[in-house]
């Protein structure tokens, strides 16, 4: 399928808007939980406490502040976030399989059903049916991630700058958390949560338009860069032979059309180490987002106006994810250009990921150090670092798979990566329980996560060592490497 230049740019802009409006609403949990607490969701748990803990707002205080809060309520709300993000990750391989088997259109029809169900259920949950929050948030999450996954293939239209497009889409997915901030601000100005979510449901018609008009029914193939270096090598061999036939044996020719099986890619070390890398980083991110409201209550001594202020600040700063994600994609593309002349195909494919992967782990380390300082003034820096970290994390994770593996494997491999990292992400709930345990629960949890972020550096180190080994072993016939030789040779996975 041939796409005219104006159409591919329209598709890119439309994909960014979709990801920004419908992708990562679950990550705006900090704003949504503030509204739910104002409405008294699970507030009855606070009145059934058998102690006189200062963590609960008394009925008299409730008349002025409008908020009841206690650890039992926080635990229920945290569980809803954990269930939502976990089901989102568990559904990813299924959505990837649907896209791989039935094409993009079918996958997007399924995501539309889940998203609309989630937005409508979230609109009508109330204090009488608080359990609907689990269904609504889960469906929003399940229907949100495929918006990103099905749109990432738009980057295949750009032979140059494809990683930047992936980063921009991931940043837009990140910035969609601000939709919940809009819901919160609207709520504080007299517009009910029900009306806000009904409006979001109606706006979802955008996805219907792109599904049936802009995007193809199956896949967008990759636009390959110039392979003139390989073509020139073949021509040189023909010239040496003198009769127009190739002097090399078939197995020595450039194997540009040969690719490993899906199973080989899934079991390769370069994929499994990438899954490990994302798993520990995503746990750090989920824990920060999931415990943001209790953390703000702790730092501000339960002062509602300050909690509201810092919640707004965190989401406003996350809007900058649209721009910070460009840095990750730009660095990836810059590294690809810098390594394009490397003789080894392994180096040309893998080496560009080392710097973005390392920077992302370093941002996670910085965030883990900052949260050890329980100060309101440091929160601004926390939110800025979080925005850069989140943009680099998901943008780099997606760009790595998009660049290293065959295009038609992306949906499945991305889904496998997300579901495994989601299983690890379930640890956020035990960590939340650990957080509540005296003494110094928060400090112990944050030190544990700091150590995990150090461990995440294993992945970029492994990639660097793989590329270094390939550089030493390459020979005169390096042009005869398969494009995916670093993933699998025969049935042996690297």
Looking up tokens 């038609």 gives: 408
Instruction: Express the helix, strand and coil content of the chain in percent, nearest 5 each.
Output: 75, 0, 25
Note every long-range contact of 37-40, with CB atoms under 8 Å and residues 24 or more positions apart, other chains counting: 37/67, 37/68, 37/69, 37/73, 37/77, 37/293, 38/66, 38/67, 38/187, 39/126, 39/127, 39/193, 40/68, 40/127
Q: Which helix (H) or strand (E) holds 276?
A: helix 269-290
Residues in the chain, how many? 494
Residues in contact with 193: Cβ distance below 8 Å, sequence separation at least 6, in sequence order: 35, 39, 122, 123, 183, 187
CA angle 463, 467, 473 (to 5 degrees): 145
Residue 96 phi/psi, 5° resolution?
Answer: -65, -40
> Positive or negative, the Cα torsion across 254, 255, 256, 257?
positive
Smallest CA-to-CA distance from 361 within 451, 447, 242 is with: 451
CATH topology of domain 5-493: Growth Hormone; Chain: A; (1.20.1250)
The pLDDT of residue 306 is 87
Calpha distance 361→352 (Å, rounded): 16
Calpha distance 379→383 (Å, rounded): 6
Calpha distance 160→267 (Å, rounded): 29
CB neighbours of residue 323 within 10 Å? 13
Contact call for residues 275 and 28 (beta carbons, < 8 A): no
Contact call for residues 326 and 337 (beta carbons, < 8 A): no
Record the tokens describing residue 155, joined without a space. 């980057």
Looking up tokens 């690297």 gives: 494
Residues paired with 255 in a beta bridge: 482
Contact call for residues 323 and 171 (beta carbons, < 8 A): yes
Domain boundaries along the sequence of the chain: 5-493
DSSP 3-state assignment of 374? Answer: coil
Strands 488-489 and 492-493, bridge-based pairing:
antiparallel
Distance of CA 455 to the CA centre of its chain: 20
Residues in contact with 188: Cβ distance below 8 Å, sequence separation at least 6, in sequence order: 308
The pLDDT of residue 145 is 82
Contact call for residues 288 and 449 (beta carbons, < 8 A): no
Smallest CA-to-CA distance from 472 within 355, 336, 344, 350 is with: 344
Smallest CA-to-CA distance from 271 within 462, 90, 89, 92 is with: 462
Instruction: Tell me the pLDDT tens digit for each residue of 248-262.
Output: 333 333 444 467 788
Distance of CA 42 to the CA centre of its chain: 30
Calpha distance 25→119 (Å, rounded): 10
Calpha distance 375→151 (Å, rounded): 39
pLDDT in tens, the chain (494 residues): 555 667 788 888 898 899 889 988 888 888 888 899 888 888 888 875 554 444 444 333 343 345 666 778 888 888 888 888 888 877 877 777 787 788 888 888 998 999 999 999 999 998 889 889 999 999 998 888 888 888 888 887 877 667 678 778 877 887 888 888 899 899 989 999 999 999 999 998 889 888 898 888 887 776 655 544 444 434 433 333 444 333 333 333 344 446 778 888 888 888 999 999 999 999 998 888 888 888 888 888 878 888 888 888 887 887 777 777 777 777 877 887 787 767 666 777 788 888 999 999 999 999 999 988 888 888 899 999 998 898 888 778 888 887 888 877 877 787 788 778 888 888 888 888 887 776 666 788 889 999 999 999 999 998 888 887 776 766 544 444 555 656 654 444 45
Record the tokens describing residue 417, joined without a space. 């990566």
The pLDDT of residue 249 is 37
């Amino acid at each position: 399928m041939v796409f005219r230049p104006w159409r591919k740019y329209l598709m890119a802009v439309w994909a960014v808007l979709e990801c920004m409006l419908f992708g990562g609403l679950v990550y705006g949990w900090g704003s949504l939980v503030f509204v739910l607490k104002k409405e008294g969701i699970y507030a009855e748990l606070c009145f059934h406490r058998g102690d006189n803990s200062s963590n609960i707002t008394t009925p008299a205080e409730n008349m002025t502040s409008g908020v009841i809060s206690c650890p039992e309520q926080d635990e229920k709300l945290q569980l809803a976030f954990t269930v939502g993000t976990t089901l989102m990750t568990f559904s990813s391989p299924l959505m990837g399989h649907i896209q791989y088997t039935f094409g993009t259109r079918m996958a997007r029809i399924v995501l539309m059903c889940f998203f609309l169900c989630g937005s409508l259920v979230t609109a009508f949950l109330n204090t009488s049916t608080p359990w609907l929050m689990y269904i609504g948030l889960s469906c929003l999450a399940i229907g949100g991630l495929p918006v990103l996954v099905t749109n990432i293939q738009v980057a295949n239209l750009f032979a140059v700058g494809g990683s930047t497009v992936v980063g921009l889409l991931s940043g837009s997915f990140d910035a969609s958390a601000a939709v919940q901030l809009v819901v919160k601000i609207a709520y504080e100005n007299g517009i009910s949560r029900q009306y806000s979510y009904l409006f979001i449901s109606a706006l979802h018609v955008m996805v219907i338009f792109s599904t049936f008009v802009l995007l193809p029914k199956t896949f967008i193939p990759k636009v390959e860069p110039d392979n003139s270096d390989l073509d020139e090598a073949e021509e040189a061999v023909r010239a040496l032979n003198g009769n127009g036939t190739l002097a090399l044996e078939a197995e020595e020719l450039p194997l540009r059309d040969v690719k490993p099986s899906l199973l080989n890619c899934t079991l390769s070390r370069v994929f499994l180490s990438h899954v490990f890398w994302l798993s520990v980083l995503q746990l750090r991110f989920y824990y920060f987002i999931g415990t943001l409201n209790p953390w703000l209550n702790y730092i501000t001594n339960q002062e509602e106006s300050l909690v509201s202020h810092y919640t707004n600040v965190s989401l406003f700063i996350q809007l900058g994810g649209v721009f910070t994600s460009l840095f990750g994609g730009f660095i990836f593309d810059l590294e690809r250009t810098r390594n394009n002349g490397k003789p080894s195909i392994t180096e040309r494919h893998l080496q560009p990921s080392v710097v973005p992967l390392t920077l992302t782990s370093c941002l996670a380390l910085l965030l883990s150090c900052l949260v050890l300082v329980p100060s309101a003034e440091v929160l601004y820096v926390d939110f800025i670092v979080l925005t850069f970290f989140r943009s680099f994390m998901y943008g780099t994770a997606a760009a790595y798979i998009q660049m290293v593996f065959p295009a038609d494997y992306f949906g499945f491999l991305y889904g496998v990566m997300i579901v495994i990292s989601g299983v690890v992400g379930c640890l956020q709930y035990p960590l939340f329980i650990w957080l509540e345990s005296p003494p110094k629960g928060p400090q112990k949890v944050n030190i544990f996560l700091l150590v995990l972020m150090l461990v995440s550096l294993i992945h970029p180190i492994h990639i660097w060592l793989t590329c270094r080994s390939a550089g030493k072993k390459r020979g005169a016939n390096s042009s005869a490497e398969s494009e995916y030789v670093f993933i699998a040779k025969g049935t042996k996975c690297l």
